[in-house]
Structure 1
Amino acid sequence: MGVLLRWFGAFGLLSATFNPTQWNFYRWAEAHYSTQLPLTVLLGLLLAVAFIIYIAATLRSLGAFGMLLVAAVFAALIWVLVDWGILSTANSSLNIWLGILALSLVLGIGLSWSILWQKMSGQATVDEVDE
């Protein structure tokens, strides 16, 4: 359940920042920047902090190569689905949602990697502490 919540949090963060609908920070900030500058800056900073937390945790657990590898797996899966005719690249909104889904899965796996690793291998991971 914790893995699902971490993924859902990443999906929520990414889709709140940008999605193909009108309900996202990017479009809201674009429309209200001149009249709501302090609120726009505050919300932008809160989103930036959330992204930093997610990306730093993912980089710490998977590393840059691991992030690229997980992203490549999901990209290859989407490629296979397009090749088999299950997905179409003609719908730009669907493509954006697939990109959000793939990126959220990368971040969700990165945040949950120690849990997944412990379940797969039986080995617990701990942070290194410098003394």
Structure 2
Amino acid sequence: MLRKNDVKQLAVRPPPPTLEEIIEDVTNAKDDDFAFVSMADDVTEEEFIDAKEDSDENVEIMKIEERYNEVTKFLSTNEELSEGSSDLRKLFEQISTRGQILRQKINELKSMKQINEDNAL
């Protein structure tokens, strides 16, 4: 029977190889290395070059799509900021108008207070 305390820890996964390690492995590989020999039977050099060119084109297409997405996001953000700026301008005008009205009301109250004080004397 398993108990909660008997939990097994998984082994730590080793880090992926660096580019230098990969190049070293490929350079040191024997001519009859299974990875290269098994592939050599299935793929001709011409097919390999065609596949690489297709892959390069796919990378370029992905870069173009990434740029397009970045530009689209930038334009969207820019539009939101423009709308926000317009909204802030409207709010500033409203606050300024209300501030003027408030100052007028304060002045009216002061003058009413002064009139009341003068009448009280």
Q: TM-score range by the shorter chain?
A: under 0.3
Question: Higher relative contact order by CA 8 Å / sep ≥ 6: 1 or 2?
Answer: 1
Mark the structure with the bigger radius of gyration: 2
- TM-score w.r.t. the length of structure 1 is 0.23
